Structure formats: structure tokens, C-alpha cells
Structure 1
Amino acid sequence: MFKVGNIYFIAAVAVIGGALFGFDISSMSAIISTQPYLCQFNQRGHDINGLCLGPTDDVQGGITAAMPGGSWLGALVSGIVSDMFGRKRSIQIGSIIWIIGSVIVCASVNIPMLVVGRIINGFSVGVCSAQVPVYISEIAPPSKRGRLIGFQQWAITWGILIMFFICYGCSFIRGNAAFRLPWGLQAIPALLLFLGLCILPESPRWLAKKDRWDETTQVLTLIHGKGDPTSPWVQNELHEIREVVEFERANADVSYFELFTLKMINRTSIGVFTQIWSQLTGMNVMMYYITYVFTMAGLASSGSNAVLLPSGIQFVINVVMTVPALLWMDAWGRRPTLLIGAFFMCLWLCVNAGLFAVYSRKPFPGEFTSTAESMAVSGAPAKAIIASTYLFVASYAPTWGPVSWAYPPELFPLRLRGKAVALCTSANWAFNFALAYFVPPAFANITWKVYVIFATFCAAMFLHVFFLFPETANKPLEELEDIFDDTKPGAIKNIGIPAWKTKNTRHLVLRRERNQELSSKEKMEFHEEQAVSPA
């Protein structure tokens, strides 16, 4: 069957799996404040103006959290599915599950049916979000790996943006079609993902692990060899993959338990916390419940739909500000990007906390429809809150957004990569679930202190990254095995360099290996010389 070998086309199709998550975020955040939704799932009766009040805050938190709850389970299962059926097939399975969930959500007539549909959708997102980075990381060359995996985050931002404005347009429709139409349309990208993957190759590293060496060579030739199986790049890559596969097969059985052994616990903790910290930045406050924040800042005073368009601006910022990471993330490195992002997000969260603490008042009875909208701010402070929120999104988009997807697949050896990334991604969804459920009652009970909590998390993640996260950018996946001494957190194996000095360690690793075998660079030069030498 015809296969496409262009690495950018492969990434563009695969990351549609990330866009599914984006569709879900905005299809909920844009809809939860609209009257058709509030009336269909109404639990609290009507206000003095006859408007539906919708679900209780706890129930709304549960509805929102149903998707990441399903994603947590999907991410864990995806490691087993991926190792069994392949990276590409596991993503296709996820796309089918998404279509089923979207049909149920679109047809929902009550809250239990809506929750079940969102759990199924979440299961799909868990599978895709865990395995798309693995798939891309095992196909991409080292110099482009971060950029290509970063497309996952960019696809999420595009999914958020596209679905948000679909929901905005549908908000002017009278009746239940205002929310059923967007929920039904989100099945279309999953169908495109399934069909698009049919013409993409499987991961060459997964094929090698299954002893399908002819197919491994064909995929490497298609993607990197420009049709020439004798290409130095193809031969060098094939040799390194074979060495790793044979070594791992001879030395270890694969299971989730190995991730918690003394030799792996360091990189497991780093990978898991990369995903946990990406949630504890507070970005969920800015995405799932942005309409609550902007309503408290006075943007809903001119109509029930007035808050949606200003909220959509932050989604545009999210898309645009992810682009610099796609262009320069590999040049910047992982550590500086994460450190800068944590610093600025902490700053803007502190600004918002201060503004709400000093200038907010308690809402008047009937002023807002949700008890989560527990503060009211007007005038210049309200504009400052909106601006600070936009700046927070602009700080997250080029830093923790894309890097949190690119970093974990780089940490683990081939035999564990599928399960390890699944575990890391499951941590993402576990905290996503907790925060989606936590934010509405938190705003209702501790008001502006919610921002203080997330600012504290950002300060903690800054310190964690600085002291324990090694640099992995621009290093072949096989070479990254030499970065960790898993009994000494943050150190280079047999070299002893701490995490904050790991940007330029390649020459030290090569020096250690020079008396054992040819380095990867020397192998490449050797093959190039053979290719140009006369017979």
C-alpha cells in the first residue's frame, strides 16, 4: 500500500489526536455559560430573571472532570495496546473510540449520559495523547524531534481555537442545537485521523522490536533515506536500533514495575512530574473555566454571550505563541524553556491574585449564575486581570505546553518507552481530572487564593527543573541512555555532572566510549567515506 514518508506530513496527521483534546476543552468552556446548555442540564431551577441556573458547581466539576478521568485510564491502557498492536494502530483505535463517545455526548439528554460520553471521549484522548508523542519521537531525527512532537501541543491549541469559535457561532442558535451541533462536529477530525494514518508508516523502532527488520529498513529508507536503503543515515540508524533491541531483549523483561526499580525511578519521576507540573501551572483555570474568570472581570455585563469573544482571544494567543517553540525549541533546549515558562507564569498568577485580593467585591444576589463566580471586579483592575490572563497564556504556550509532550519520550529506553510515556501521560490526566473538579468549588470557597496556590506550584516546578531535569535536546534516543545515572538523581552516568550542566555532555560521553567502539558520528563518517570511495 502507498505510504507517505514526509516527516512533516506524518506529524501533521498524527497530531490530530492532540487536537481532539483541544476540541473537548473549548466545547465545554464555551458552552457551560450558555442558556441552552444550562436549561438542558438544569438542577438549580431559575433565577429572578427566569434564566436557567444549570448544574450545581460540584456536578459541573464532575461533568468537566469526566473527560480527564477517562483519559487517565486510556493513557495507562495505551502502553499495553501500543506495545501489542503498534504505535499507529493504537492511535487509530483511539480515533474510533472518540467517534463513539462524540455520538453519545451529542445525543445526551441528561447528565449521566453526558458523563458517560465524556468518559469515553476521554479514554480516546488518553490513548492518543500518550502514543502520538511516542510515535513521532521514534520516527523523527534528533534535530527535529522537539519541533515535531511540539506539533502535538500546537494541534491542541488549534483544536481549542477552532471548536471555540464553532461554539461561539452556535451560541446564537436557539434550542439544543447550540451545543449538540459542536459536540457532533468534533467526530469529523477523528475520522480524518483514522483515514490519514492508513497511509503513514509504522514506527521503525516498534517494528524492530517485533523482529520485522525488512519493514524497519523500508520505513527508514522511506522517511530518511530518500529511497536509498544503502544511505549512510539509514545504515547508521538501523545499526544503532539493532544494538539497542538486542541488548534490551537480552537484559530485561518489559513491565510497568520496571519503571519503579532503582535503575529507572529517577527518569520515571522526572517524566511523571513533567506532566504533573504542566497541569499544576494553572492553565486549566484559563481554559476550562475562562468564562468564569472573565465574567468576574465584568465582561458578561452586556449579555450572556458577551464573554465568549474576549475569551476566544486567549485561544488565538495560545495558537500564535506556540509557534516560536516549534521553530526554536530544539535550539533553546528543554531546561531553559521550562525554567523561563515557570518564572513568568508564577509572576502573572501573583498579579492576578493581588488584583482580585485588593479590588474584588462579593457579587450581588443574582449578579452571576454560578457560585464559582465568587468575586466581582470592574474598571482598570478588571482590565489588568484580563491582560494578565492573556500574558499567562502567552507564557505557557511556548514553554510548558509543547515541552511537556516532547520531554518524557526522550527519557526512556525503547523497551519501556510506550509504557513509560503512558504512565507519565496518565499522571497528566489524573491531575487534570482533579483540577477540573477542584476549580469551581475552590473559586466558590477560597476565591482569589486559588491563584496563590497555582503560583506556589510554579515556584516549586522552577526549582525542581533547575536541580533535577537534565537536558535532552538534540541527542539521539539511543544516546540518551548515557545521560542518566539512575542511582544518583540528576547526574550523568560515570561522569557525575549535575542536571544544570547537562546541555553539552555529548563530548564527554563520546570520550568514554572511544576505546570501546566507533561513536555514532564516526560511524556516519565511515559510511559516508565508503559511499564515495571507488570500488
Structure 2
Amino acid sequence: MTGTDTLTSLQKGTITGLLLAGCFVGSLASSPMCEAISRKWGILVASYVFMVGAALQTATVNYASMVIGRAIAGLGVGGLSMLVPLYISELSPKHIRGRLIGLQQFTITVGLMVSFWIGAGTTLHFSDNRTFRIPLGFQIFPALVLACGIFFLPYSPRWLASKGRFSDCLHVLAYLRANGNENDPFVLAEFEEIRRVIDLEKSQANSSYTDLFKGSARRRVILGMGIQMFQQFSGINSIMYYAPTMFRQAGISQQNAALLACGVSGVVNVLATIPGILLLDTLGRRKVLISGAVWMGSSMIVCGAIMAAYGRIEFDVALNEYVVDMSETVGASYVCIFMIYLFVAGFAASWGPCAWVYPSEIYPLRIRSKGTSLSTAANWLMNFVISEVVPVMLARITWGTYIFFGCGCMIMAVCVFLFFPETKGRSLEVILKKESSPCLITFTV
């Protein structure tokens, strides 16, 4: 792509960074779009944008077209990561809302796993540019399925109500809840609740992003952005981005590190997400988040402690960084690997799905799209920061990186216990009322 056989570290960083930058911008830009043209058609636009970016990457002829394609694809990914959970939350009945939104995270984990094995397969069977064109081209197909399928899905009933289309709102609710029976008492009760909140919010409408940081809206934004930033602060993407390096530090050979790190971790990620989705609407968001943070923190601290106790830190002159040599302690190496797998499983069963569920629930309708877009943008911003910082941490403090993220997870557990109210089993219109909040911060709708 560049006229040379390899990319420099700066070029590799730019390819990764521009995707994340596009995600950040796309998540923010999706808010006014989905308010104007609906959540449904917003998803369609974001899907088309992503397909354009993916097509540019697949057909790339040079480095410039690749980074442009990455940036455009990032706009689509950012938009979809904000719009899809928002759309699902506004369609879902309250008793299974967590599971339905959590399915988004499950499909993400499946996509990560499939993408690795496609990449591994093309690398094994080809030695030309098909090794990257096939994996990049394959990502167009799920977006195409989404773009075609969205035509058969209804509008968000809450978006319809916000536009004064109450008859359409009732029709969609009846279609979703009672096989089209608009006289169903549960449908009518939900419709009246939505209408009551819409009428109330007409006198409280927030017209700009600055208004989100005033009054009770500010507290909700802090929680929404906080949980998304915490998700990245757990260190999960340091595992997904740099797992091969971590496995080599744990004593695994170069050849096996990528397979064990990405391939097996991908399978663990998918399987552990399933119980996480099921638990969201039984145990509740708070218990899942707290237990998951403790689980992840314990795994990282044990992993770092074993590396510190049994590993030998050496300075690699060729790489200009410190590395952990655990080749002489095979048993300790495998314990570290097991701890990393436990960490991935703990994330997949808790913060993976729940961090996307929670922000889509806590905002009132008048600020829901703006608040969700800010929360999602915070996730992508922290994602970028972590991706930039972790390589330096691994090179300078080696096993201390694991201790750092382990302690961060424990802090997350404490913050959720103190400040994050439960949202399980409550409609979007009554979430965060004072009497339903078991934490220190309370809200009124």
C-alpha cells in the first residue's frame, strides 16, 4: 500500500486511530440525525456509510485510500454503536429490555471471533493481497443485511410520540406487544405513560448539548458517560489489541501466541456473553456490574502478581522496551493465561453487554439521543486513549499494567455500588425515580 513491504509504527497507529476518531465523530453526529429522520432511517444511513468505508478499504490501492476508508467506516461504526442500543431500548418491553439490548454485544463478540478466523484462514491459504482484501470485504455483508432488514422494522414508538404522531405510536406498540390489538390494556397503559411524559417534557425540552450539563440531566450524563468510560478503563481492549504481546510475556511462543490470544479468547468472549445477557434481567444491572468488576479485577491482579513473583524482567535492546521472561516457569505462565481468559469471561458476562444497556435506559426522551450519543462518544474516546497508553505501559512497567487495570476494576465496583441506581424491570418513563434508587445519587423524571 505504501510502496514498501511493511508499515511503520506511526502508519499502523494512524490506521487504528482514524477508525476510532471516526467512531467518536459518528456517535456524536448520529444524535441530530436520528431526531430528524428517526432511529430507523438513522441506522440505514450509518449502515450505508460503513459499507462505503469498507468498500474503500477492500479496494484500496495505496495507504491514503486505506486511511480514508478507515475514517469513513468509523463514522458508520460510531453511528451504529449509538443508534442500535437506543432503538432497541425504545422498542423493548421492560421485562426483557436488558436481554434484547445485550444481544447487540453478543453479535459483536461473534463478529470479533469470526473476523479472527477469517483472517487466520486467509493468512494460511494466501500470500498475496487477498490476505487483507477478503477479511475487509467480508465485513460489508453484515452491514448489507442490516441495511436491507431495517426496511421491515417499525419506527420507534417513543420517537413517533415525540413528533406528535400518537396514533402511529399506538399502532406500533400494539404491533409489538399485542399482535396489533390497540385495545389491549397493557398497550394502552404503556401508551398513556409515554404520552404523559411527552406532555410533561414539552415544558422542559433541552435544545442543546450544553443543556445536558444542567440540573438532573447532568447527573444522568455523568452516569452514562461514566459507565462507558469505565468499560474501556477495565482494560478489555488492551487485552483484545495486545493479547499476543501479553501471551508472549507469559512465556508463549510467537507462533502460538496469536492463536491462543485472539482465537481462543474470541471463543471465550462469545460463550461468556450468553449468561451475561440472561442475568441482566434476573440479577439486575447493579449486581452484574459489581460482581463483574470484582471478577475482572481479581483476575488481573492475580495475573500481575504471578508475573511479578515468577517472571524475570529484561530489557530488549532490539525492541527498546522491558519484557517479562517466564520461559523457566511454565506452570506460572499457564496460570497467567488462565487468568486472562477469566478476565475476558468476566467482562463478557457483565460489563460487555451491560455498559451498552445502561446508557440507553437512563435518559428521559427529551435528551435520550443526545445523552446516548455523548455516552457512546465517551466510550470511543477512552478506547483511543487506552490503545495509545497500553503499549507504553507494557513496555515500561510490564506486569504493573495488569495490576493497574485490576485496581481500576475494583474502583469501578465501588463506584457502581455507591452511585449507579438499578434500572431492571422499569419502563423508560419511570426509571431513576427517587423511590427506586438504592444508591447515593437519586433522580426525578
Name the TM-score, length of structure 1 as normaliser. Answer: 0.78
Instruction: State yes or no: 1:472 paired with 2:411.
Output: no
Alpha-carbon distance change, 61 to 377 in structure 1, aligned in 2, over 3 angstroms: farther
**Structure 1 residue 136 corresponds to structure 2 residue 88:** yes
Deviation digits for residues 123-177 of structure 1 (CA, Å, limit 9, x no counterpart) = 1111111111110111101100001010111111011011111111111111221
Shift of 1:434: 1.2
The answer to whether the Cα contact below 8 Å between 1:67 and 1:433 also exists between their aligned partners in 2 is no
Alpha-carbon distance between aligned partners in 1 of 2:197 and 2:290, rounded to the nearest angstrom: 32
Q: 1:276 pairs with 209, 229, 237, which one?
A: 229
- State the partner residue of 1:376: 325
User: Within 2, Cα distance between the matches of 1:175 and 1:484?
Assistant: 63
User: Aligned partners of 1:453, 1:481: CA distance in 2, in Å?
Assistant: 32
What is the match of residue 323 of structure 1? 274
The answer (yes or no) to whether the contact 1:61–1:438 under 8 Å persists in 2 is no
Measured at CA, do residues 41 and 363 of structure 1 come closer, stay the same or move farther in structure 2, by a change above 3 Å? Answer: farther
Q: CA deviation at 1:295?
A: 3.0
Structure 2 gaps of 5+ residues are: none
Distance 1:411 1:208 in 2: 18
**1:310, CA displacement in angstroms?**
4.9
Per the alignment, residue 168 of structure 2 pairs with 215
Cα distance in 2, alignment partners of residues 89 and 264 from structure 1? 27
CA distance, structure 1, for counterparts of residue 436 and residue 282 of structure 2: 25
Work out whether 1:63 is the aligned partner of 2:12.
no
Shift in Å, 1:217: 1.7
The yes-or-no answer on 1:114 pairing with 2:66 is yes
The secondary structure found in structure 2 opposite 1:375 is strand
One-letter amino acid matched to 1:439 = V
Q: Distance in 1 between matches of 2:68 and 2:321?
A: 24
- State the match for 1:332 in structure 2: 283
SS in 2 for 1:332: coil
Which one has the bigger helix percentage?
Answer: 2
Larger displacement relative to structure 2 (397-406 or 59-68): 59-68
Supply the distance in 1 between the matched residues of 2:35 and 2:320 (Cα, whole angstroms).
Answer: 46
**Aligned residues of 1:65 and 1:434 also touching (Cα < 8 A):** no
Match of 2:131 in 1: 178
- Correspondence for 1:73: 25
Tell me how far 1:372 sits from its aligned partner. 7.0
Equivalent positions of 1:158-197 (< 5 A) are 158-172=110-124, 173-197=126-150
Aligned partner of 1:356: which letter? M
Aligned residues: 440
Deviation at 1:381, TM superposition (A): 2.3
Aligned to 1:293: 246
Find the aligned partners of 1:451 and 1:309 in 2 and give their Cα distance: 18
Q: Determine if contact 1:484/1:490 at 8 Å carries over to the other structure.
A: no
Cα offset for 1:53?
6.3
Quote how far apart the aligned CAs of 1:249 are.
1.3
User: 5 Å matches for 1:1-12?
Assistant: none
SS at match of 1:277: helix
1:251 corresponds to: 204
> Kindly, what percent of the aligned residue pairs are identical?
36
Residue equivalent to 1:423: 374
For structure 1, which segment, 439-448 or 155-164, has the greater mean C-alpha deviation from structure 2 after superposition? Answer: 439-448
Match of 2:155 in 1: 202
Report the CA distance between 1:365 and its aligned residue.
5.9
Partner of 1:236: 189
**Aligned partner (choices 351, 355, 360) of residue 306 of structure 2:** 355
1:93 is matched with which residue?
A: 45
CA distance in 1, matches of 2:262, 2:164: 51
Question: Counterpart of 2:180 in 1: which secondary structure?
Answer: coil
- 1:103 CA displacement: 1.5
Q: Is the 8 A contact 1:294 1:311 kept in 2?
A: no
TM-aligned CA distance change 1:309 to 1:354, over 3 Å: closer
TM-score by length of 2: 0.93
How far apart are 1:406 and its partner, in Å? 0.6
> CA 1:114/1:444 → structure 2, altered by over 3 Å: closer, same or farther?
farther
CA distance in 1, matches of 2:320, 2:70: 24
In the alignment, which residue of structure 1 is the partner of 2:220? Answer: 267
> Relative to 1, partners in 2 of residues 1:193 and 1:372: Cα closer, same or farther, differing over 3 Å?
farther
Shift of 1:392: 0.4
Task: Tell me the CA shift for residue 69 of structure 1.
Answer: 1.5
Q: In structure 2, what residue type is equivalent to 1:133?
A: P
Q: Cα 1:76–1:371, aligned 2, differ >3 Å: closer, same or farther?
A: farther
> Take 1:324 and 1:334, find their aligned partners in 2: how far apart are those partners?
13
Q: 1:408 is matched by which residue type in structure 2? A: P
- Kindly state the Cα deviation for residue 371 of structure 1 after the two structures are TM-superposed: 5.9
Residues 371, 91 of structure 1: alpha-carbon distance in 2 compared, 3 angstrom cutoff: farther
Q: Is the 8 A contact 1:267 1:412 kept in 2?
A: yes
Q: Give the Cα–Cα distance (whole angstroms) in 2 for the partners of residues 306 and 452 of structure 1.
A: 21
Q: CA deviation at 1:42?
A: 8.7
Distance in 2 separating the partners of 1:42 and 1:361: 37
The 1:59–1:361 alpha-carbon spacing in structure 2 relative to 1, beyond 3 Å, is farther
Contact 2:24 2:380 in 1 (8 A): yes
- The 1-side partners of 2:29 and 2:349 are apart by 29
2:54 and 2:248 map into 1 onto residues whose CA distance is: 28
Mapped contact 1:484–1:493 kept (Cα < 8 A): no
CA change 1:214–1:60 in 2 (3 A) is: same
Q: 1:373 to 1:474 in 2, by over 3 A?
A: farther
> Is the Cα–Cα contact under 8 Å of residues 99 and 187 in structure 1 kept in the other structure?
yes
Question: Deviations for 1:277-300, whole angstroms, at most 9, x for unmatched residues?
Answer: 000000001112222222333433
Aligned pair in 2 of structure 1 residues 371, 407: CA closer, same or farther (>3 Å)? farther
What is the alpha-carbon distance in structure 1 between the residues aligned to residue 323 and residue 45 of structure 2? 42
Cα deviation for residue 259 of structure 1 reads 1.2
Q: Distance in 2 between matches of 1:164 and 1:80?
A: 35
Partner Cα separation in structure 2 for residue 371 and residue 384 of structure 1:
27
Counterpart of 1:308, as a letter, is L
Structure 2 equivalent of residue 516 of structure 1: none
**CA-based RMSD:** 2.3
Secondary structure of 2:314's partner? coil
Structure 1 or 2, whichever has the larger Rg, is 1
Q: Which of residues 226, 229, 237 in structure 1 aligns to 2:179?
A: 226
Q: Residue 314 of structure 1 aligns with which residue?
A: 265
User: Structure 1 residues 80, 197: closer, same or farther in 2, change over 3 A?
Assistant: same
Task: Describe the shift of the 1:120–1:140 C-alpha distance in structure 2 as closer, same or farther (beyond 3 A).
Answer: same
